[in-house]
Amino acid sequence: MTTNHKKIYVINHYNIFDKMILKKRLEMSKMINNYIKNLNVYDVLDIGTTNDELNPSSNIIIKNIKKFKEYKSISDQKIISNFFSKKLKKSITSNFSKKEIDQFSSDVVISNATIEHVGGRNNQKKMIKNIINLTKKIFIVTTPNKFYPIEFHTKIPFIHWLPKPIYRKILNYLGLSFYANEKNLNLLSKKDIEKIFFNQPIKYEIKFIKLFFLKSNFIVIGKK
């Protein structure tokens, strides 16, 4: 199947749930655009960029922010897209050299739906520490709400509210072993986010968007 045929296939098979995710990401883009519209900023860094160019919602937030002169990316995937002028293939939970920080630090750092995929709480804290070090002015981190009734990755309702050992055992039973592994999916509540940011040298606020009148996604905005 050629790339063009794959794109046609994805568009034709884009289901209602995926369309809702796209709508929510566009809503987050609008919120971020409104937030930074009066800021004097030059460059932006996207953390956790995906190399998936077929899914309409992939990288949609960063691509819908047109204010910047330079777009950079740090991802553990190889990013081929020419949208980004600077690309670094590296995990955000790794140690960064002074040279890497100098090259990739930006006025605005954005990470969409990545922090729930970096592993346990220590890795999530390391990710935020690195984001702070890479931020010149503000950063924006989005993540799904653990207590939204439907889990967006598995599209299964309620079982993610169970104790983690039980929840992960059910996922394994359902053949979803990838998401059963904490290193691939570790959902966050508002309290979890507050614990991750405890003692971090940054001022931050937690905003949210709603889906069907319930808080579906958190948007954490930090300022230097």
Predicted pLDDT at 12:
42
User: Residue 1 pLDDT more than 70?
Assistant: no
What pLDDT, on a 0 to 100 scale, did the predictor assign at position 134?
98
Instruction: Name the packing angle between helices 121-134 and 190-197 (round to 10°).
Output: 60
pTM of the predicted structure, to 2 decimals: 0.89
What number of other Cβ atoms are within 10 A of residue 200's Cβ?
14
Q: Is CATH 3.40.50.1220 the right assignment for the domain spanning 3-146+187-223?
A: no
Rounded to 5 degrees, what are φ and ψ at 90? -165, 145
23: Cβ–Cβ under 8 A, 6 or more apart, which residues?
Answer: none
111 φψ region: left (φ > 0), alpha (ψ -120 to 50), beta (else): beta
Region 138-151: mean pLDDT is: 96
As a dihedral over the C-alpha atoms of residue 156, residue 27, residue 18, residue 185, rounded to 10 degrees, the angle is -50
Which pLDDT belongs to residue 145?
98
H/E stretch holding 32: helix 16-36
pLDDT band at 161 (very low <50, low <70, confident <90, very high): very high
**Mean pLDDT (whole number) for 31-37:** 87
Residues 6+ apart with CB under 8 A from 87: 49, 72, 73, 74, 75, 79
Under 8 Å between Cβ of 83 and 50: no
* Residue 6 pLDDT greater than 70, yes or no: no
The rounded mean pLDDT for the chain is 91
Task: Provide the pLDDT for residue 23.
Answer: 84
* pLDDT per position as a tens digit, 40-96: 999 999 999 999 877 777 898 998 888 899 999 999 999 988 999 999 999 999 999
Residues of the chain with CATH 3.40.50.150: 3-146+187-223
